[in-house]
Amino acid sequence: MLTYASKRVLIGLVTLLAASIIVFAVLEVVPGDPARLMLGMNATEDAVRALQEQMGFNQPLLTRYFNWLGGLLTGDFGKSYTYSVPVLDLIKERMAVSLPLAMTSLVISTIIAIPVGIFAASRRGSATDTAAMGIAQIGVAIPNFWFALLLVYLFAIVLRLLPAGGFAGWENGFWPSIKSLILPSLALALPQASILARVTRSSLLDVLGEDYIRTARAKGLSRRKVLYYHALRNALIPVLTILGMQFSFLLAGTIIIENVFYLPGLGRLVFQAITQRDLIVVQGVVIMLVAIVVIINLLVDLGYAVVDPRLWSRS
């Protein structure tokens, strides 16, 4: 188990270092000068030069890379060019929205998807199975921003139960903040739940076709017992993989939903930072996301080992 785990950690660290080089290099060649962008079309050349100097663009490439990397190790992500506040503070503020949003969507989608998947698999070919999978198919096909607009129309404009968007801020109370996250999490959860339900179903069906299941049934175990004690545990590996991928996606890939609900999340921070050429923020957020994905993958890998002891006993 230990060697298995330490190998995974090492791979994670190498990934991070490689990512830091790639992120830095890619942003280095992106066209556009942040100073000119901030000062606009009427600015004089000397004003633009003065701002470039202020931002520290005049240092050589390698110096800037190592300064940045050194800063990262000590928890200093640098200062945003546009906002002129520490990047880490910005990330923390946005995490306070993105993290709860990702978690609630993940919880909602899991609560819906796993039971539906099990149910459909256990009644394979029945009308309920067909109906459930039909709905899931629609759930995958519907663009989540469109579903979001429908949710807004019903719950915010017609019923006026929930805000159409925005984030109240945790300092203004728990309930108002949760209220502003309900519709976005629902909109995000629907396609995720649909995918997850289909994966759960097919993975469970695969396992149910295995010889050891027949053996278990032949031993006289009930269908129910076989399903929950023998099949489900083994069917969870692909489900876990998808869950891990979905969580990473939910943290960073929610730009569209964040736009529809004008939520101040990480996705919008990156988007805004890219258009404003606030490269230090882009670097910081991307490396942070890479770190999170690496950690999630590590946890998923360790999760495999828990559900499938062969993985570590072998090594």
Interface residues with another protein (CB under 8 A) are: 30-34, 36-44, 46-47, 50-51, 54, 82-85, 90, 93-94, 149, 152-153, 156-157, 160, 163-167, 169, 259-265, 268-269, 272, 275-278
Closest distance between another protein and the C-beta of residue 120, in Å?
A: 34
Q: Closer to another protein at the Cβ: 128 or 275?
A: 275
Residue whose C-alpha is closest to residue 19's, from 299, 305, 297, 246: 297
Closest distance between another protein and the C-beta of residue 233, in Å?
A: 42
Closest distance between another protein and the C-beta of residue 97, in Å?
A: 8
DSSP string, the chain: -HHHHHHHHHHHHHHHHHHHHHHHHHHHHS---HHHHHH-TT--HHHHHHHHHHHTTTS-HHHHHHHHHHHHHTT---B-TTT-SBHHHHHHHHHHHHHHHHHHHHHHHHHHHHHHHHHHHHTTTSHHHHHHHHHHHHHHHS-HHHHHHHHIIIIIIIS--S-SS----GGG-HHHHHHHHHHHHHHHHHHHHHHHHHHHHHHHHHHHTSHHHHHHHHTT--HHHIIIIIIHHHHHHHHHHHHHHHHHHHHHS-HHHHHHTT---HHHHHHHHHHTT-HHHHHHHHHHHHHHHHHHHHHHHHHHHHH-THHHH--
C-alpha–C-alpha distance, residues 141 and 80, integer Å: 38
Q: Closer to another protein at the Cβ: 62 or 159?
A: 159
Closest distance between another protein and the C-beta of residue 147, in Å?
A: 13
Q: Closer to another protein at the Cβ: 38 or 302?
A: 38
Closest distance between another protein and the C-beta of residue 300, in Å?
A: 30
Closest distance between another protein and the C-beta of residue 58, in Å?
A: 14
Q: Closer to another protein at the Cβ: 153 or 212?
A: 153
Whether 228 contacts 216, CB under 8 Å: no
Q: Closer to another protein at the Cβ: 24 or 304?
A: 24
Closest distance between another protein and the C-beta of residue 245, in Å?
A: 26
Q: Closer to another protein at the Cβ: 18 or 161?
A: 161
Q: Closer to another protein at the Cβ: 275 or 315?
A: 275
